[in-house]
Structure 1
Amino acid sequence: MNMFVDIAFPISSYTIFTYSVPHEFRNQIDIGSRVTAPLGKRRTTGIIIGFPKKPVFSGVIKNITSLVDPYPVLDESLWKLIQWMSTYYFTPIGQVAKTVLPAQLSMKYSPLKKWIVEALPDLKSDNLLSSAPAQKSIVDFLQEIKERIPVTELKQLVSNPMNVCRILEKKGFIHLTAVESIPDITGFTFDPIEKKISFSKSQQSVLDELIPKIQA
Structure 2
Amino acid sequence: MFAELVINIEAALQGTFHYDVPFDLQPALRVGHLVEVEFGRRLAQGIIIAFSEDAPVEETKPIIALIDDEPVVRPWQIALAQWMSAQYLAPLNGCLRQMLPPGLTRWSDITVDVNPYWDGSGRLTELQEKLVALLREKGDMRGRQIQKALPKTDWKTAVTQLTNRQILRKATVLDPPQMRPKAIRTAELIAGPARTRAALLTLGRANKQADILLTLADS
Q: TM-score, normalised by structure 2?
A: 0.46
Q: Computing the radius of gyration over CA atoms, which structure comes out larger, 1 or 2?
A: 1
Name the TM-score, length of structure 1 as normaliser.
0.46
